């Protein structure tokens, strides 16, 4: 008999939080009737400065099937939080989730750029990626290297050996969800191997907080500059007061300069009377 759900949630606090966030965002998207084109990541929107979509695309799901598949896989992968004895654990999970979200999104855009510019595949200019799949595939890959004896449970019905799970899931999702981003999933796998093999390493609390801070700054600034959301408190108003006197050069002739001083004539006149 398995553990009560409450105790499993306590053993996987970060995983439970991410599942909650994705579920709430999905509910909001459904309630507000928001399309994937409004929150997803594409090459065209990136060129327009919508860098905030790297974050929103990762945590947004349009299809309930996509949400259930990703969250079911993520719940199974939450075992990473309990593997501190092999160098994983809660801090590792939080630190490298940040890395997976950002680097997977950047790698997706880089892949689109190569496909468009090098191979002239204009189709990828408008392809929109959405969903937590990049992160899920990344953790699947990390766990397959660090704990190859583990199993990946899907929907509570299907159990896959974790050592083959990344590529099995890649094929599986491409079949049952044809609209799923193959490039996005593959990007998650590549970043996952880079982390598992130590090519990307050295994350600690300092670097995680620094990275999160920059993410928030870029998120807010790109939202404002792209015109998606107007943060009025970021507007800098002119402090020039037209009632104050101003001094400016009118022209330069020879070695002399004419100097106009507006609004000082009254004061000068008063001195001359």
For the chain, 273 residues long, give each residue's pLDDT as a single digit of tens.
Answer: 467 888 889 899 999 999 999 999 999 999 999 988 999 999 999 999 999 999 999 999 988 988 998 999 899 999 999 999 999 999 999 999 999 999 999 999 999 999 999 999 999 999 999 999 999 999 999 999 998 888 777 655 667 778 778 888 888 777 777 777 889 999 999 999 999 999 999 999 999 999 999 999 999 999 988 877 665 544 444 444 455 555 444 444 444 444 444 443 433 444 434
- Cα distance between residue 159 and residue 155, in whole Å: 9
Q: Which residues are catalytic?
A: 133, 185
Tokens of 143: 């766990």
- Cα distance between residue 166 and residue 190, in whole Å: 10
Model confidence, pTM:
0.81
| CB contact set of 187 (below 8 Å; sequence gap of 6+) | 104, 107, 108, 111, 134
Tokens of 108: 């997706």
| CB contact set of 160 (below 8 Å; sequence gap of 6+) | 151, 152, 154, 168, 169
Of the candidates 53, 69, 25, the one whose C-alpha atom is nearest the C-alpha of residue 228 is: 53
């Amino acid at each position: 008999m398995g553990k009560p759900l409450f105790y499993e949630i306590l053993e996987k606090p970060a995983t439970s939080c991410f599942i909650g966030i994705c579920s709430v965002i999905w509910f909001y998207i459904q309630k507000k009737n928001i399309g994937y084109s409004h929150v997803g990541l594409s090459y065209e929107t990136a060129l327009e400065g919508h860098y905030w979509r790297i974050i929103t695309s990762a945590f947004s799901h349009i299809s309930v099937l996509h949400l259930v598949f990703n969250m079911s896989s993520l719940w199974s992968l939450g075992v990473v939080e309990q593997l501190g004895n092999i160098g994983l654990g809660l801090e590792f999970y939080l630190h490298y989730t940040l890395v997976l979200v950002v680097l997977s999104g950047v790698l997706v855009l880089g892949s689109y750029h190569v496909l468009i510019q090098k191979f002239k595949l204009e189709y990828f200019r408008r392809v929109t990626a959405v969903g937590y799949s990049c992160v899920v595939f990344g953790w699947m890959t990390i766990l397959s290297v660090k704990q190859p004896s583990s199993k990946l449970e899907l929907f509570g019905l299907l159990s896959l050996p974790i050592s083959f799970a990344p590529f099995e899931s890649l094929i599986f999702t491409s079949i049952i969800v044809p609209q799923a981003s193959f490039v996005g999933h593959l990007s998650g796998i590549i970043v996952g191997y880079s982390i598992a093999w130590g090519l990307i390493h050295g994350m600690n609390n300092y670097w995680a907080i620094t990275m999160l801070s920059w993410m928030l700054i870029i998120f807010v600034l790109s939202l404002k500059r792209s015109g998606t959301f107007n943060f009025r408190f970021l507007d800098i108003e002119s402090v020039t007061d037209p009632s104050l006197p101003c001094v400016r050069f009118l022209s330069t002739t020879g070695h002399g300069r004419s100097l106009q001083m507006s609004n000082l004539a009254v004061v000068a006149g008063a001195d001359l009377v």
